[in-house]
Amino acid sequence: MQSFIITGTDTGIGKTVASAMLTQALGTNYWKPVQSGIEGMVDARVVQKLTALPDDRFLPESYVLSEPLSPHRAAELDRVEIDMNRLIPPASERRLIIEGAGGLMVPITRNNLQINMFKSWDIPLILCARTGLGTINHTLLSIEALWNRQMKIHGLLFIGEENRDNIKTIAEYSGVKVLGRLPLLVELNAANLQQAFSENFKAEDFA
Ligand SMILES: Nc1ncnc2c1ncn2[C@@H]1O[C@H](COP(=O)(O)OP(=O)(O)O)[C@@H](O)[C@H]1O
Ligand SMILES: [Mg+2]
């Protein structure tokens, strides 16, 4: 069964909200391998709050680190040594939505970038990107990094207000499939996320 890695061009672009939409719409489980930052709600709890899905749809993180920093640094501050061998997608009865930390080139340790961890898993990636100014550069750079490593890009998932030319330009330069655009929702809840998926995405694109 096909799982997906949800990555993005940056932190704070809407990966968690997009992951909530997909976990609900595709009926998957959700896993966040490394959670950096525990003040407020961790990403798994945000997804659970947004979807109201039961506990068994959420697999425990491999590492939960205190500070909202890149995992390599947050681990150092917590005096935790991240063992890459423990960072393997867990067995799951359902497909997995795996939400990465920040963007692709985030270091997990002092000698392992997240993108290389994803490569070793051999699971297709969904690259989330903003729609606004700056996204053409960030998105094409991320795609090039994935291509350089011969990694499978399942598609692009845009988040934000409509910007047809940015999306068209990225699609034309890269040839990567655009899965859809998740608009900014005034109220984030399960019903609105389900509606956003139905209106802007095709379930068969994730089969
Ligand atoms: N589609 C959306 N509609 C409304 N607010 C959103 C949407 N996507 C993200 N946000 C808000 O933007 C912020 C960052 O989103 P988040 O999903 O946590 O980003 P990331 O996981 O990439 O760090 C959050 O406050 C979130 O509620
Ligand atoms: Mg997140």
> Could you tell me the residue ranges of all domains in the chain?
4-206
Task: Return the exposure string of 32-51: e unless at least 16 CB atoms fall within 10 Å of the residue's CB, then b.
Answer: bbbbbbeeeebbbebbbebb
Distance 85 CA to ligand 1 centre (A): 30
Atom 17 of ligand 1 has which residue's CA nearest to it? 14
Tell me the C-alpha distance between 82 and 110, whole Å. Answer: 10
Helix extents (H) in 31-189: 43-51, 71-78, 114-121, 135-148, 164-174
pLDDT for the residue numbered 1: 66
* pTM of the predicted protein model: 0.98
Site residues for ligand 1, CB cut-off 6 Å: 8, 11-17, 159, 182, 184-185, 188
Active-site residue list: 32
Pocket test for ligand 1, best of 11, 17, 186, 197 (most atoms within 8 A of CB): 17
Residue 158 DSSP symbol: E
- Of 175, 143, 178, 172, give the one whose Cα is nearest residue 157: 178
**Distance from C-alpha of 63 to C-alpha of 10, rounded to nearest angstrom:** 20
Q: What is the distance between the alpha carbons of residues 61 and 42, in angstroms, rounded to a whole number?
A: 10
Determine the atom of ligand 1 nearest the C-alpha atom of 128.
22
For 4-206, give the CATH class: alpha beta
| Cα gap 81→8, rounded to integer Å | 25
Digit-by-digit pLDDT tens for the chain (207 residues) are: 689 999 999 999 999 999 999 999 999 999 999 999 999 999 999 999 999 999 999 999 999 999 999 999 999 999 999 999 999 999 999 999 999 999 999 999 999 999 999 999 999 999 999 999 999 999 999 999 999 999 999 999 999 999 999 999 999 999 999 999 999 999 999 999 999 999 999 999 999
The amino acid at residue 171 is A
Whether residue 37 contacts residue 64, with contact meaning beta carbons closer than 8 Å, is answered with: no
